Amino acid sequence: ICDKYSIPYYDCYKDGGLNSYMPIMNTTYMTAGASGQPDYTHPNEEAYKRYYVPQVISMIEENLKY
């Protein structure tokens, strides 16, 4: 929908660079569920700071130029 209406967006899954299927990234950047094991799905605070926030800020700043 965003593409259809030319609305800028950040696709963190495609463009984020965080691959939770890599064991080191999963244990470092994913939250642990009730089992105590990282869940491959939900990023922790460090993952947001490293892989999402800078890219979102960059996207917003780029789109504010117009």
- Per residue, the 3-state secondary structure of 8-33, as one string, reads CCCCHHHHCCCCCCCHHHHHHHEEEC
Q: Is the dihedral of CA 27, 29, 32, 38 positive or negative?
A: negative
Q: Which residue bears the tokens 């947001």?
A: 48
Which residue from 5, 9, 1, 44 is spatially nearest to 25, judged by alpha carbons?
Answer: 44
pLDDT tens profile 3-62: 999 988 888 888 889 999 999 999 999 998 888 889 888 999 999 999 999 999 999 998
pLDDT of 66 over the 80 cut:
no
